[in-house]
Amino acid sequence: MPPQEDVSLPLIQSLSRRGFLKKAGILTTSALLFGSFLVLPRVIAKPTQEKEEEISPIEDLMREHGLLNRLLLVYDEGIYRLQNQRDFSPDVLASAAGIIQRFIEDYHEKLEEDYLFPRFEKAGKLVDLVSVLRSQHTAGRILTRQIQSLSTLQHFQDASRRDTLVDSLKQFVRMYRPHEAREDTVLFPALRSIVSSHEYDALGEEFEDKEHQLFGEDGFEKMVNEVSELEKQLGIDDLAKFTPKGL
C-alpha cells in the first residue's frame, strides 16, 4: 500500500495560525481599550467652558467699599482744591456724588439694610452697631444731596456756599471711613455665624442678580471705569503719586 499522507500536520498548523490570529486580535483590542482608558480621564477632565468666577456676598460688599474709598479720595482732592482755590470742574464732585447715590446708597446700602441688618437684629447680635450703621446711612444720604446741590460753578464762586460744600464733603469722608472699616472688620465677618452655608451662598447669588438687574452684566466694572475717569480729571489716577517721596 502506498504511504498515506499525514493530513493532521497542515490541519494543526492551520488551527494554530487561526488561534494565533484570534489571540493576537484579542490582545490588540485589549491594548486599544486599555490605552483609551489611559487617555479618557484627560479628555473628560478637560473643561469645555470656563466656569464663571463665584464671588461671596462679603467679598462683593468689601470690593464695593474699595470703590467707595476711591470716591472718598476724589472728595479729599475736591476739599483740598476748594480750600486752596485751585480750579477744577464742579462736574467732578457732582458725578462722584451721583455714583455714591446710585451705586452705594441705592444699591450697596440697600443690600445691607434689606439682607444683613435684619438678620443680625433677628439673631440679637451686634444690634447696637447695626443701629448706628442705619443712622449713618440716613445721614450720608442727606450729605450726598447737599453735595450734589452745591456742586455747581455758581456755588463754587460764592465763598459762603463753597465753605458749606467743603464742610459737607468733610463730614461725609469723616463718617464713612470708620463706617466701612467697622463693617469690614466686625459686621461682615460675623455674618457666617448667623446664617447657614446654604443661606450664605444664596445671598451671594441674590447680590449678583441685583447688581446685574440694576447695572448690567458688568455693573461693578462699569462703576470702576467711571471712577477712574474722575480720578484722571483730577490727576490722582497714578497710584505712584501717593508714595511718600524719598522713601
Give 67-106 pLDDT, tens digit per residue.
Answer: 999 999 999 999 999 999 999 999 999 999 999 999 999 9
Count of structural domains, the chain: 1
Specify if 148 maps to a domain: yes
Specify if 46 maps to a domain: no
Return the CA Rg of the chain.
35
Say which CATH number the domain at 178 has.
1.20.120.520
DSSP label at residue 244: P
CA proximity to 232, closest of 26, 59, 89 = 89
Specify if 14 maps to a domain: no
Specify if 126 maps to a domain: yes
Q: What is the pTM of this model?
A: 0.78
Q: 14-69 pLDDT, tens per residue? A: 444 445 445 545 444 444 444 444 444 444 444 444 445 678 999 999 999 999 99
Specify if 19 maps to a domain: no
Specify if 174 maps to a domain: yes
C-alpha cell of 24?
A: 493576537
Specify if 8 maps to a domain: no
- Domain span at residue 122 reads 57-237
Specify if 39 maps to a domain: no
C-alpha cell of 237?
A: 489716577
HSE of 18, CA atoms in CB hemisphere, 13 A: 6
Give the Cα separation of 135 and 131 in Å (integer): 6
